Amino acid sequence: MKLIYSLALLILLQASVSAQTQQIINVENRQTTTLNGQWKFLIDPYENGLYNYRLQPFDEMENPPKAAFFSDAKPDDKTELLEYDWDTSPTISVPGDWNHQFDNLEWYEGTIWYRKKFEYKKSEESNRVFLHFGAINYYSKVFLNGKKLGEHTGGFTPFQFEITDLLEDENSVVVYVNNNRKPEGVPTVNTDWYNYGGITRDVTLIETPNEFVEDYFIQLDQENPEVIKGYVTANESNSDFEVEISIPEIGLTETVQLVNGRSDIEFTAKNLEYWSPDNPKLYEVRIKTPFETIIDQIGFRTIKTDGANILLNGEFVFLRGISIHEENPYRVGRARSQGDAELLLGWAKELGCNFVRLAHYPHNQHMIRLANEMGLMVWEEVPVYWTIHWENPETYANAEKQLEALIHRSKNSAATIIWSLANETPVSDARNEFLYRLSEVAREADPTRLLSAAMEVHSGDSPSEYIIEDKLAEYVDIVSFNEYIGWYVGLPERLTRSKWTVPYDKPVFISEFGAGAKAGFHADSLTRFSEEYQADLYTKTIDALTQIENLRGMSPWILVDFRSPRRQLSVIQDGWNRKGLIGNDGEKKMAYYILQAFYNQKATQ
């Protein structure tokens, strides 16, 4: 069975790799042209633009008909029948989800087509051009000037296609987007967040020299903090040229020679200021070749565990965290901009956090870059969530590809200290094998960071005794679990009698706890959804959890109320998960100040 599974997985991964090139990192600091703005769109619930009436796909035909929406065609004369017209179609903002730009699309799940026309002239005739998408939810097909570039699965990871030889004086890029939830998907059909559809992150043209630095990994050696290690790779496997790596502020310059498109790097860098929440020092790092110079802002720090302790730069650290969804409550919709990141992370800093858990999927690049600048350590996660199809090779291949894409994008982020493999997944042998494989992939791709996952607790011998019994705890560096005593299990008073058993000599992290409360609704502390109930639960939870011997941090659920179709209690929820410490109007609830006081106290210890 495992052999069949492995062979099927290998075929799937090989097929997915052939559809697109390795991702270019540090897109923001390269020569780029934005395609953000107003795009034309067509709502296509029956997928008339992709299939004929016999359900034969147009994009698999040798000569697709004009009826294919990606043809971006016009009738030859007034007698020709063509049942779409891009030029007269409405417009939609990109990036952005479609659900909250038009009232009739609020709950729409299905297919929408996008089209953008643009002119482009390369700065150098020999240069190459790539079309880069920050993210599209969930499944997409991309066409340029009627030619299919490829496909992508996954709603939160970047992808790109080379378009150098397809560019014309005037160009038409057409994107098929489908956000239908699927049982075999990652995430699967059952989640507790809103299924925003559309081109939700930036669309960019990247221009590069013919030979260019595609990827690099420049980090401190976790065992010797006076040594920088990593690698540099070029876009062509046969590239053979010199690369100069410099950090001007400390007078460091090193030159390496690429052989077959790659060079490992290792050099001494003394007198570095280490990145930390108290000193989020970032250095300008220059990567220079005979053809280009790339500039990045990189912080250097070590992160490791020692028994029950988490050590940042060799010093004990308690993770004062909060969980965050990628939503801006003020305008209702998927967060996507620098301003959105400033709002959310600004609230976290004001709360007293030195850490944020970016749940339950990879967040946009603005969040990661700003966390580096603000000094917020980060937990990044892939949407292996709840009832994944553990025995499906296609599901595993999807999850692995998303994890690799996340690590690839964020591996030079000093702020990112934890890769999370999953959230609240039911224990089984198939699940254990699935997550063990993911843990091995993560460690191979990046041995410099810690692994964790949000696990569940199970009852012990008494109603108030809880134990962590999960094979996954053996694969990770930090034992993290979600607990909702006082909300889903009993009332807050139960917390005064609760005990947790964690049979591992590892740091313990509480990845979620919380209760719902509608901002402005006041009652006594036993009235559900009142601010008083939430505040009382926070007080009792903090008192109870701090009794756990190995406790080294927490990220309560959650910073801000967020949209969720699961939450249907009229007047109170109305489609919002109300567990936020901040309401959807920006009002801070009573529990916000309770957690803030606790974090301010921990910061002085």
Q: What is the DSSP string of 261-297?
A: TEEEEEEE-TTPPPP-SS----EEEEEE-SS-EEEEE
pLDDT at residue 337 tops 80: yes
Is the domain covering 21-204 a CATH 2.60.40.1170 domain?
no
- Whole-model pTM: value is 0.94
For helices 590-603 and 531-545, what crossing angle results, to 10°?
A: 30
Closest CA to 187 of 428, 379, 362, 432: 362
Provide mean pLDDT across the span 546-556. Answer: 97
From CA 521, how far away is CA 519, in angstroms rounded? 6
Closest CA to 548 of 579, 517, 515, 513: 513
Specify the higher pLDDT residue, 149 or 1. 149
Tell me: the pLDDT tens digits for 381-425?
A: 999 999 999 999 999 999 999 999 999 999 999 999 999 999 999
| DSSP for residue 569 | -
| Assigned token pair, 93 | 């903002």
Peptide bond before residue 360 is cis, with ω within 30 degrees of 0: yes
From CA 61, how far away is CA 65, in angstroms rounded? 9
Specify the higher pLDDT residue, 456 or 315. 315
Q: In b/e form, how buried is each residue of 474-509, taking b as 16+ CB within 10 angstroms?
A: ebbbbbbbbbbbbbebebbeebeebebebeeebbbb
Residue linked to tokens 């098929």: 176
Tell the CATH topology of 213-301: Immunoglobulin-like (2.60.40)
CB-side neighbour CA atoms (13 Å) of 421:
31
CB 554 within 8 Å of CB 317: no
CB 30 within 8 Å of CB 127: no
Tell me: the pLDDT tens digits for 23-77?
A: 999 999 999 999 999 999 999 999 999 999 999 999 999 999 999 999 999 999 9
> What are the residue boundaries of the structural domains of the chain, listed by start?
21-204, 213-301, 305-603
Tell the CATH topology of 305-603: TIM Barrel (3.20.20)
Tell me: the pLDDT tens digits for 147-199?
A: 999 999 999 999 999 999 999 999 999 999 999 999 999 999 999 999 999 99
* Cross-strand bridge partners of residue 105: none
Query: Which of 40-54, 156-170, 235-249, 529-543 is predicted least confidently?
Result: 235-249
Give residue 552's pLDDT: 98
CB 291 within 8 Å of CB 209: yes
SS3 45: coil
Residue 429: count other Cβ atoms within 10 Å of its Cβ. 10
From CA 452, how far away is CA 509, in angstroms rounded? 9
CB 552 within 8 Å of CB 509: yes
From CA 520, how far away is CA 541, in angstroms rounded? 22
Give residue 548's pLDDT: 96
SS3 170: strand
3-state secondary structure 412-468: CCCCEEEEEEEECCCCCHHHHHHHHHHHHHHHHHCCCCEEEEEEECEECCCCCEEEC
3-state secondary structure 527-562: CCECHHHHHHHHHHHHHHHCCCCCEEEECCCCCECE
pLDDT at residue 8 tops 90: no
